Structure 1
Amino acid sequence: MIKYSIRGENIEVTEAIRDYVVSKLEKIEKYFQESQELHARVNLKVYREKTAKVEVTIPLGSITLRAEDISQDMYGSINLVTDKIERQIRKNKTKIERKNRSKVATSQLFTDALVEDADTVGAKVVRSKQIDLKPMDLDEALLQMELLGHDFFIYTDVEDNSTHVLYRREDGDVGLLEVK
């Protein structure tokens, strides 16, 4: 069962919007065990130029499912974000299970649903975040970066306890920065 935390920025979250978000996200419940309690954080934001941003984050213990979309149509963005989350689950279910095998029994996370194989000059800081660096190996960090949909990911290497940064290169490959 999914519990929802739906927040609006520059928009009032009406009952109709809340119901729409819940009805769309309920379609991913089939991938999880009924006894699994999930907490989905949904952030809806409307900008002055009439665009809407929809972000959905679902923590699953050692990994986090996350998707976002920006468009002129909030309801369309809700649909796209739900589809992105569902694709992440379907594409990465086997990888997630492998990484969580020693931490959480996989059967506690997912059901047996179908799996698919798987310019800054003059810029200013407008948002600051604090993060906890989790010890993990390179494969787990790559998976986490992909699931979050980010172009970079910072983590602590489980073997030598040093800080590493993964980043997506312009050619589509991934680079690794090792802090000494």
Structure 2
Amino acid sequence: MNITIVGRKVNLRENFKVLVQRKLAKFDRIFDTDAEATVTVTLERNRQTVEITIKQRGMIYRAEASAPEMNEALDDVVAALGRQIRKNKTRLERAKKVQQFDLTDEYYDEPDEEIEIAKRKTFFVKTMTVEEAILQMNLLGHTFFMFRDDASGEINVVYKRNDGKYGVLEPET
């Protein structure tokens, strides 16, 4: 796994980088060597936020944790990633084309959950600009909105982020 470590508003010490490498090495048996892991550490108001994103063959695993100490936030985010991987291990197995792999670790103590779809909805996808989609989303009182982009013709999603800003999800070509 290729690991990129980025510090925002904080200087990262070498021992923290080594700790990140060691903690993410636990996932080496699950992900291929071509997997990309990005670790972003941010300092905001005496709180350390650690975000880890792992990408492999179109699958994305992302977790974020905040704590007063950087190492504590790292432990929390690695545990959250472990839970995500445990929940999605069958998808990972199919993607990696491996018969079975053992996920017994201190991070994997939760039972498997069955995915249940509570509601299915269909609607007409209108062609509009990103700004029009954000206005429509706000009018509906939703936190996300799917639309067809008038410039590219692709299906996109706008969403409201936790920081109050907006994001756009676009398909990769």
TM-score class, shorter-chain normalisation, is 0.5 to 0.7
Tell me: CA distance 1:71–1:153, structure 2 relative to 1, closer, same or farther (3 Å): farther
Moved beyond 3 Å, runs of 4+: 151-156, 161-167
Q: What is aligned with 1:117?
A: 112
Tell me: CA distance 1:93–1:15, structure 2 relative to 1, closer, same or farther (3 Å): same
Matches of 1:25 and 1:154 in 2, distance apart?
34
Matches of 2:92 and 2:145 in 1, distance apart?
17
Amino acid across the alignment from 1:8: G
Q: What is aligned with 2:37?
A: 40
Cα displacement (A) at 1:111: 5.6
For these two proteins, the number of residue pairs brought into alignment is: 121
Q: Secondary structure at the match of 1:31?
A: coil
Tell me: CA distance 1:10–1:89, structure 2 relative to 1, closer, same or farther (3 Å): same
Matches of 1:61 and 1:69 in 2, distance apart?
25
Larger radius of gyration: 2
Amino acid across the alignment from 1:37: D
Gaps of 5+ in 1: 119-138, 140-150, 168-180
Q: What is aligned with 2:88?
A: 92
Aligned pairs for 1:20-169 within 5 A: 20-32=19-31, 36-47=33-44, 49-97=45-93, 101=94, 104=95, 106-107=97-98, 112-114=101-103, 116-118=111-113
Matched-pair contact (CA < 8 Å) for 2:49–2:64: yes
Q: Secondary structure at the match of 1:30?
A: coil
Higher relative contact order (CA 8 A, sep 6+): 1
Give TM-score, length-normalised by structure 2. 0.58
Tell me: CA distance 1:164–1:11, structure 2 relative to 1, closer, same or farther (3 Å): closer
Matches of 2:71 and 2:19 in 1, distance apart?
8
Matches of 2:112 and 2:147 in 1, distance apart?
25
Q: Map Cα deviations across residues 27-51 of structure 1 (whole Å, 9 max, x no partner).
A: 122323xx5422110001112x211
Matched-pair contact (CA < 8 Å) for 2:6–2:39: yes
Tell me: CA distance 1:166–1:44, structure 2 relative to 1, closer, same or farther (3 Å): closer
Matched-pair contact (CA < 8 Å) for 1:53–1:70: yes
Q: Secondary structure at the match of 1:42?
A: strand
Give TM-score, length-normalised by structure 1. 0.56
Alpha carbon RMSD of aligned pairs, Å? 3.2
Q: What is aligned with 1:173?
A: none
Gaps of 5+ in 2: 118-142, 149-153, 161-173
